[in-house]
Structure 1
Amino acid sequence: MKAEQAEQPPSFDRPGIGLGTGIVPRGALAIELGLPSHERDRDADGLRTEQLSGDVTLRTGLFEHWEVQFAGSPWQHQRSRLPGMASTRTRGGGDARLALKWAPPTGRESDRWALLASATVARGDAAFSEGRQYALAGSYEHDLSDRWTGALYASHSRGDGERSTVWSPSVSLALTPRLSAFVEAGVTKARGEPRQTVAGAGLTWMWTDRVQLDASFDAGLDADSPDMQAGVGISAYFE
């Protein structure tokens, strides 16, 4: 994502796999909504699964270079169907997450980085809960030019006997002062599970100086990855 400019709100963390490096100042609030996200997959047995989910993240500053985040997924809707059988539908809520973000100065305007430590509380319905999880994620951004930015994101999570690691490089381009595009790839490796690899793209549009609209998608690049993940969202900043 682009470097923050004076009198502009900090960069939002959505969309995409990675993590923005902007920090919400103390006394301000950022609200980021997924409206909704959609995932589609078909496994080796022909089981087709589609899931719609709505998610919300609240971000507010603690003090300089630090912010706290509260995130959740209030509603989930999943439909599954085996060949020759009737589909089954499941509805419910997902887990809640508390996170702390730190983005110290680097001394160079072209370079930015941030760390995010989070704890997931297994309060969701059984079909949509991943259990208690703890994660540490980091993102580094470098401005290649006035319009191009490269980024590298990594995260590691563990809990309930599970652990997984995610890597995601991305490149973004400022098409106009308000419209930006990005391409990304992501690799996920969970213990005891095949590696998953996806790639995709997205757009962000600053509808106003403090409201961002976004749309993005990722497609699976192998048989073990979700066939398609897509979503649209809106983010708003309040002082």
Structure 2
Amino acid sequence: MRQCIVLFGLSMACLSARAEPPSAPPAFDRPGLGFSTDTVGRGAVALEFGLPSYLRETDAEGVRSTTLSGDALLRTGLAPGLELQVSGTPWNRQRLRAPDGEGTRLRGAGDSSVGVKWAGPGSNDRTAWAVLATAVVARGDAAFSDGRQYALAASVEQTLTDRWSLGLFAEQQRGAGQRTTTWAPSLSLQATPTVSTYLEAGFFDVNDAPDQTLAGAGLSWQVRPGVQLDVSFDVGLDDDSPDLQMASGLSIYLD
């Protein structure tokens, strides 16, 4: 409930802000491990939903967990090149199964966070970059909360041709006694004017846990200007990484 109140209140504040003349929709932040270098114009709103996300992983004791979660991200512009982000996971469903067959089911809300994205100076049609600072503002239920977290991330995009581009996402996350460093390179292809796809890899260095490595792909379809559907997946490349992550989503831009 706390997460829903935070998201609703900030949504109403954003929608009541003074709108600027309509502009071309910016790139959405989903799918993928990173985020786009575009920012939302002042007074405009982008809503991005996971419908839903799926995670399967197995721990060292052989306990397998499968989790379904619904996430939401609201983005709105504060000034040229600067946007506010509010995100949360209002619902989660998790099933735990031990090697002996005993199972447990959990449900609840995850954390909510607030962030500010800044599209740095010097970006052009060939090279663009942005930074994103986030912090947890409402802790979810114990089973689905990572505690107080703070993160600073950067995304860089390099256009190779009119169809191919490279990306690099980097993040430093701290909180609850942990420090996680993430690196995620990607290669994207604009297959048609409305369909794009990508390949990505993710490398996660945790200070008090084994490193993790993922690789995957995704596809997005611009149903019409300002409306996008997406699907994606990542698989673990070692025993300490999640077995499988899958996601589908809907994103809408309101100017």
TM-score normalised per structure 2? 0.90
Q: 2:238 aligns with which of 222, 227, 235?
A: 222
Post-superposition offset of 1:7: 4.9
* Number of residue pairs matched by the alignment: 234
* Structure 1 residues 131-180: Cα deviation after superposition (integer angstroms, max 9, x where no partner): 01110000000001000010010000111211111000000000000000
1:110 is matched with 126
Q: Identity, % of aligned pairs?
A: 53
Structure 1 alignment gaps of length 5 or more: 1-5
Q: 1:133 aligns with which of 149, 160, 164?
A: 149
Return the alpha-carbon distance in structure 2 between the equivalents of residues 223 and 86 of structure 1.
22
Post-superposition offset of 1:107: 5.0
What amino acid does structure 2 have at the position aligned with 1:134?
A: Y
Q: 1:107 to 1:72 in 2, by over 3 A?
A: closer
1:218 aligns to what SS in structure 2? Answer: strand
Describe how 1:46-57 pairs up with structure 2 within 5 A.
Answer: 46-57=62-73
Post-superposition offset of 1:85: 2.9
Matched, 1:37 2:53: yes
What amino acid does structure 2 have at the position aligned with 1:208?
A: R
Post-superposition offset of 1:109: 1.2
- 8 Å CA contact 1:31–1:235 kept in 2: the answer is yes
Aligned-residue Cα RMSD (Å) equals: 1.2
Return the alpha-carbon distance in structure 2 between the equivalents of residues 96 and 106 of structure 1.
32
Structure (1/2) with the larger helix percentage: 2
- 8 Å CA contact 1:121–1:131 kept in 2: the answer is no
2:35 aligns to what SS in structure 1? Answer: coil
Return the alpha-carbon distance in structure 2 between the equivalents of residues 163 and 110 of structure 1.
33
- 8 Å CA contact 2:194–2:223 kept in 1: the answer is yes
1:3 is matched with none
Describe how 1:140-159 pairs up with structure 2 within 5 A.
Answer: 140-159=156-175
Q: 1:28 aligns with which of 28, 44, 65?
A: 44
Return the alpha-carbon distance in structure 1 between the equivalents of residues 48 and 124 of structure 2.
28
Describe how 1:40-119 pairs up with structure 2 within 5 A.
Answer: 40-119=56-135
- 8 Å CA contact 2:128–2:158 kept in 1: the answer is yes
What amino acid does structure 2 have at the position aligned with 1:58?
A: L
- 8 Å CA contact 1:179–1:203 kept in 2: the answer is yes
Post-superposition offset of 1:198: 0.3
Return the alpha-carbon distance in structure 2 between the equivalents of residues 16 and 130 of structure 1.
21
Segments of 4+ moved more than 6 angstroms: none
Task: Name whichever of 124-133 and 153-162 sits farther off.
Answer: 153-162
Return the alpha-carbon distance in structure 2 between the equivalents of residues 194 and 133 of structure 1.
19
Post-superposition offset of 1:14: 0.4
1:204 is matched with 220
